[in-house]
Amino acid sequence: MNENNIILPEPTLRRLPWYLAYLEILKGKNVENVSSTQISRALSVDASQIAKDLSFLNIKGKTRIGYEVKALIEALSDFLGFTRTHKAYVIGAGSLGKALIRDSGLSNYGLEIVAGFDVNENVISRTDLGVPLYHIDHIYDVMEENPASIAILTVPAESAQESADIAIGAGIRAIWNFTPYRVKVAEGVVMANTSIYAHLALIFNRLEALKG
C-alpha cells in the first residue's frame, strides 16, 4: 500500500471515484477492456486527464486495447483505500448522525463506524442503531478499547469546534465535517468538509434563477 503515501491532488481524488463507478457499470455489462477515450466520452473528462489521473496507479493500459476493466477496478478500489477498513466515530447522534450510522453503504467503501457520541442522555440510551453510543466524556476510554482514526462531525454548528478539539485530543487524526461551521484544525490533522447546506443553497439559488 506504500504507493498510497503520496498526496494526490484533490481534483484527481474527485475524479478517480467517477472512473471507478463507471468501470463497475462496465463490469456489470461484462465489458472486459476500456480505453481512456471511452471513459472520456462517458464522463466528459478529457482523455489525457484520465491517463494522467490513472498514471498515479501502478497499472498500465495497452495500446489499442486499453485497460483491463477488472484489474483497473481492483487497482482503483485499493488505491483509493476502499478495500481497507478505516474505523470512525460519529460525534453527534442527532438526525444526520443517526442517519450516517444507519447508512450501511459506507462500509462498502472502507468506512466502519464503530461508535457514536453525544451529550444527550436520551440519545445515548438508544440501542437500536447497531453501534454503541457513549457520552462524549468517555471518548478517551472508547479510544483505548476500540480506537478510530476518523471523526464524523454531525453536532450542531455551535458545538462543532469544541467537539473536533475533544476528538483530536483523544487521538482522532481526521475530521469529516458535516456541520455548516468552518472547523479549524492544527496542521497534521486531516480535514474534509461535506457541505450539504452549501449544496442546498446552490440548488435553491439556481432554481430561483431559472424562474428568472
Alpha-carbon span 40 to 145, nearest angstrom: 47
Interacting residues with a copy of itself between 17 and 46 (CB under 8 A): 17-18, 20-22, 24-25, 28, 43-45
Residue where the block lists cell 442527532: 94
What distance in Å separates the CA atoms of residue 180 and residue 111, rounded to the nearest whole number?
22
Residue 162 is placed in which grid cell?
469544541
Which residues on neighbouring strands pair with residue 113, listed in sequence order?
A: 88
Residue 52 is given by DSSP the state H
Out of 81, 114, 126, 165, the residue judged to bind a copy of itself by CB under 8 A: 81
Residues 149-208 binding a copy of itself (CB under 8 A) are 149-150, 157-158, 160, 173-174, 176, 179-182, 184, 188, 190, 192-208
CB 102 within 8 Å of CB 129: yes
Q: Do the Cβ atoms of 22 and 42 come closer than 8 Å?
A: yes
Site map for a copy of itself, 102-131, x if CB under 8 A?
Answer: xxxxx--xxx--------------------
Report, in Å, the least distance between residue 6 CB and a copy of itself: 7
- Applying CB under 8 A, what is the total number of residues that bind a copy of itself? 76
In the complex, the smallest distance separating the C-beta of residue 140 from a copy of itself, rounded to whole angstroms, is 21
Segment interacting with a copy of itself, rule: CB under 8 A, options 65-73, 77-85, 119-127, 133-141 = 77-85
* Complex with a copy of itself: residue 66 or 180, whichever CB lies closer: 180
Q: At what angle do helices 10-28 and 36-43 cross, to 10 degrees?
A: 100
Of 99, 137, 141, 169, which one interacts with a copy of itself (CB under 8 A)? 99
Inter-CA distances, 129 with 48, 95, 125, Å: 45, 12, 11
In the set 30, 58, 63, 95, which binds a copy of itself (CB under 8 A)?
Answer: 95
Alpha carbons 121 and 192: distance in angstroms, whole number = 29
Of the two residues 62 and 199, which places its CB atom closer to a copy of itself in the complex? Answer: 199
Task: Based on the shown chain and the rule CB under 8 A, indicate whether residue 96 belongs to the binding site for a copy of itself.
Answer: yes
